[in-house]
Structure 1
Amino acid sequence: MLPHLCARSIQARFTLVAGIISLLAFMIIGGGADLGVRNRVENTIFKETEGVATEWIGSLQSSSASPATIRTGRSRIDLIQLVDDQGKIVAASPAAARRPRLSAVQPPVHDRIDHRTECTTRDGCVVLTAVRVPPLETQVLWQGQPHYMYAGMAQPPLLASNMLELLTGSAILAAAALAAWATWWVVGRTLRPVAMIRAKTAEITVSDLSMRVPEPPGCDEIAQLARTSNKTLARLEAAVEQQRQFASVVSHELRSPVAGLHTQLEEALLYPTDVDPMKTITTALSTTERLQAIIDDLLVLARIRSAPPATPEPIDLGALITEEVATRVHGTPVRTHTTGHVTVLGNKIQLIGVLNNLLVNAQRHADTSVEVTTTRTSDHAVITVTDDGPGIAPHDRERVFEPFIRLEDGRRRDPGGSGLGLAISRAVITAHHGTIEIEDSPRGARFVIRLPLIPETARGGAGTP
């Protein structure tokens, strides 16, 4: 079945609903128009018949009304009869002379005019007005004997047949069909970009995420959907590419120790008399410990990137730094300069991990001391970790945050490191909506962390964010 004819098609459903509503609306309008036309035609005829009847009655004052024939002139009201109270036709127009009495109704004295439509099997329907001759004329002309004047005409074909209903019904169906077609065309034209987006989306696969859906012009909802979809595809492409690069780097970093471990164990099996088993076991144990450290760091990094964020809590960075520095009794001395009440929302365990990693790196590369400071700007808390070591070259300041990237000095000072510490630190700070960068320093490396401050309204409470 074609998509636009599917039962779930928006175009078909909108067209069906619009057609039904239009049909009902036009039926009401058409019924009212039909009734209005009928009433207008009948009222026009009644007005003419009443005028003819009263005019002829007025002429009786100067006429004996003895002629049997009434002249109608050029009026279309050609059926006129004067009838006494016994039903005898006293006078009639030429068209009504051959007809029987037009109506049997005899209006009373207090309501002398009556409009009605009389129908017979032989002569059809007549639209007429029955008028009772006033008492004065009746007394003068017929000694008080009541007489009645009937004036009318044959019912017009528009009223006598179903022509008006057929025309109205045809107009209603045509208008409803036109409304349904217009709805079909407008909805189809509106949804055409959606069909193009759907077709292009069906072509996008994991192996090729570079394709983008077409973006229609304008700022309507469909255009916004297309732009949002393209932004999502761009983010997805970047994430997949990052995962591929990460998997490649991980496989490369794990291949070397695994290959070395395999070689040592194979050599011990092939040459049992020439290889010291204790030395082999010790080396293998060291290798597995390094593998275990790399795997643990990878799990931490993956958890930070993919796991839903934990409920944040208010953290006083000054107190946190003071507590952590106090535990570092060995290695290069660490000096602190903190500002009170620098409070952020975050995960305390993760922020402690970041601080420890930066302090370990700084103590490892420092010559004489490490300095940690906390300050605040209008909306951010700033943590600075500075050492007086050799520093990091400007072209390496971004590379060191990539997984498994280790500079030559770092490999020399810490041969067993995994190269994931700074990558994990950046992932943690990013998850806290902050930034971590390496900035210029007169001597050594200067790591700067910026975290959004807790809002004043939350910090002013009882410690609950």
Structure 2
Amino acid sequence: MVILTLLGVTLDLTIRYKVQADSFDQAERVASQWSAAARNGIVPHRMPAYPPVDLVQIVDARMRVVDSSRAASDVRPLSTLRPPPDDRFQRRIECEEGRRCVMLMAIRLTPEADAGVVFAGLPEPSILSTHSLEYFIAGGILVLVSVAAWITWALVGRTLRPVDAIRARISEITVSDLSLRVPVPPGRDELAQLSITANQTLARLESAVRQQREFASTTSHELRSPLAGLRTQLEEALTYPDEVDPRETIRTALTATDRLEAIVNDLLVLARLRATDAPPEPIDLGDLVCAEVKLQPHRLPMNVRATAGLMIRGSRMQLIRVLDNLLVNAQRHAESAVEITVDRDGDQAVVAVTDDGPGVDPANRERIFERFVRLDDSRRRDPGGSGLGLAISRDIARAHHGTLRVEDSAKGARFVLRLPLADRPGGPADPRPAPGALTPARKADGGTIGNIGD
């Protein structure tokens, strides 16, 4: 409306200026013709008119009408204007009360003092004397603004209808029911992309909530079992004090407490993994593995072959947790020794921990990474375990954009951790032995083995 108003004002002023200029030009042409005729003395008493300039008069120095057209008075001059000798052509609009204004052109015949004046004029056009032009322009502006407003209302309403549908559907979604999805409007515009993104977010949220519920249910079950056993033992000791050995009861209660403590500690680790947002740091994976093997308590020899210079980026404490879980697991199931290798495979660093124990059945290779899953052999070798160690380790590997799985081995179990290598300005990894390798002994294949005592 503002733009159209500015255009309307400009149009109104332009039309008024054009009409006024054209009217004065017509009066000037007629006045110039009769001025030349008057100087030549060939002016009739009743001067013919040249419509629309039908008011023509010639007056003398005393402003008396000498000659006039039929429409003009032959007694009263059209104006009292008398142009000076140095400005013989002058324009004027003469208005009288109760009468229509006249647009006049006055031309002094000669510069002499007794020279007459020629008046030529026409009634002011109605477009100038009334406000019809302004009314017409204002009406056009109102019509255009109304049409634009209606079109805008219709287009915006059609555009926002999918938004209202999305809003209504989102208002129906609750934590108890995340299966609903927002409607996707046709096309590939921003609203369609927004709906697709919202549905993807809802799908991820539904999956996360489902996992949280399953985890809470499983955790409750795992915690209930040792708590129920502990309660039963304590109630039995109180009910039958003469039949129950208190030392045996306390020893059994401590075993159940250890089990609960292990579960709670691993649950805290899982919570920290989800909550932590520490920036990654550059880590030499070979050095880290060698240092962790050196600090690890062991009952069997642990042989390390590590390639130095394999730089990754991640959380040192989380990766130590993974290595600790893998090394403890290998020590628990090995019969004579544990082999640890750190090598490069394309753009990945590969840590393999191999024991010579009974191994893992192929049917259980994925199942052992589920939370609270413990095979019979694991329960026998470590009754106080929580069943969360390998699940935590895989979560850490995934958080570092890597993988952790059980791969084929000639004997025993082979756990393989793969992590993406960080970009190094020095080029490919340095094949020299890692500084942390202990008691290096050269092998025929050029690798390095660190033998950690039995």
Question: What TM-score, normalized by structure 2, do the two folds share?
Answer: 0.88
- Please give the residue correspondences for 1:5-404 in structure 2 after superposition, counting only pairs within 5 Å: 23-60=1-38, 63-65=41-43, 67=45, 69-72=46-49, 75-97=51-73, 100-134=76-110, 145-305=114-274, 307-328=275-296, 330-404=298-372
SS class of match (1:58)? helix
DSSP 3-state at the match of 1:54: helix
TM superposition shift of 1:88: 0.8
Residue 205 of structure 1: CA displacement? Answer: 0.4
8 Å contact 2:296–2:324 — kept in the other structure? no
SS at match of 1:297: helix
Q: Is the 8 A contact 1:57 1:133 kept in 2?
A: yes
% identity of equivalent residues = 52
Q: AA paired with 1:81?
A: Q
SS of the residue 2:198 aligns to: helix
Pairwise CA distance, 1:146: 0.9
Q: Unmatched 5+ residue regions in structure 2?
A: 429-454
Q: Which residue of 2 aligns with 1:15?
A: none
Q: From the superposition, tell whether residues 254 and 160 of structure 1 become closer, same or farther in structure 2 (CA, over 3 Å).
A: same
The one-letter code matched in structure 2 to 1:150 is F
- CA deviations on 1:59-98 (whole Å, 9 max, x unpaired) are 346654351x21115x221111111221111111111126
Question: Cα–Cα, structure 1 residues 85 and 391, in superposed 2: closer, same or farther, change >3 Å?
Answer: farther
CA distance in 2, matches of 1:408, 1:378: 37
Cα drift, residue 302 of structure 1 = 1.5
Which of 388, 391, 395 is matched with 1:427 structurally? Answer: 395
SS of residue matched to 1:381: strand
Alpha-carbon displacement from aligned partner over 1:20-71 (angstroms, at most 9, x marks no partner)? xxx222222111100100011111111211112222333346654351x211
SS at match of 1:130: strand
Whether the 8 Å CA contact 2:103–2:123 is kept in 1: the answer is yes
Distance 1:214 1:98, change over 3 A: farther
Looking at structure 2, the residues matched to 193 and 164 of structure 1 have their Cα atoms a distance apart, in angstroms, of 45
Cα deviation for residue 373 of structure 1 reads 1.1
Deviation string 1:81-129 (CA, Å, 9 cap, x unpaired) is: 1112211111111111268322222223343222222111142211121
AA of the residue aligned to 2:355: D
SS in structure 2 at match of 1:97: coil
Structure 1 outlier segments of 4+, above 6 Å: none
- In structure 2, what residue type is equivalent to 1:247? A
Residue 383 of structure 2 corresponds to: 415
Greater alpha carbon shift after TM alignment, 415-424 vs 46-55 = 46-55
**How far, CA to CA, are the matches of 2:420 and 2:221 in structure 1?**
37
Query: What secondary structure is seen at the aligned counterpart in 1 of 2:268?
Result: helix
User: 2:411 corresponds to which letter in structure 1?
Assistant: R
Amino acid at match of 2:47: I
Distance 1:66 1:25 in 2: 55
Kindly indicate whether the alpha-carbon contact (under 8 Å) linking 1:343 and 1:459 is maintained by their aligned counterparts in 2. Answer: no
SS in structure 2 opposite 1:208? Answer: coil
Which secondary structure state, in structure 2, belongs to the residue aligned with residue 151 of structure 1?
strand
CA distance in 2, matches of 1:63, 1:292: 132
Q: SS of the residue aligned with 1:91?
A: strand
Task: Name the CA shift for 1:377/1:417 in 2 (closer, same or farther; >3 Å).
Answer: same
CA 98–419 in structure 1, closer or farther in 2 if over 3 Å, else same: farther
Corresponding letter in the other structure for 2:169: K
Q: Which sections of structure 1, spanning at least 5 residues, go unmatched?
A: 1-22, 139-143, 461-465
Q: Quote the offset at 1:450 in angstroms.
A: 1.8
Deviation at 1:223, TM superposition (A): 2.6
Helix, strand or coil: the match of 2:145? helix
Cα distance, 1:47–1:279 mapped onto 2, change above 3 Å = same
Give me the whole-angstrom Cα distance separating, in 1, the residues matched to 2:133 and 2:344. Answer: 85
Aligned length: 428
What's the Cα RMSD here? 2.3
CA distance in structure 1 between the aligned counterparts of 2:130 and 2:74, rounded to whole angstroms: 24
Contact 1:84–1:148 under 8 Å retained in 2? yes
Give the alignment partner of residue 411 of structure 2, picking from 443, 446, 449. Answer: 443
Please state how far the C-alpha of 1:416 moved relative to its aligned partner. 2.1
Task: Judge conservation of contact 2:64–2:75 (CA < 8 Å) in 1.
Answer: no
Going from structure 1 to structure 2, the CA distance change for 1:394 and 1:89 (only over 3 Å counts) comes to farther
SS at match of 1:406: coil
Once residues 122 and 133 of structure 1 are traced to their aligned partners in structure 2, the CA distance between those partners, rounded to angstroms, is: 31
Q: Is the 8 A contact 1:315 1:345 kept in 2?
A: yes
CA distance in 1, matches of 2:223, 2:3: 74
Secondary structure of 2:59's aligned partner: strand
Closer/same/farther in 2, CA of residues 247 and 122 from structure 1, 3 Å limit: closer
Bigger mean CA offset, 425-434 vs 289-298: 425-434
| Inter-partner Cα distance in structure 1 for 2:426 and 2:148 | 57
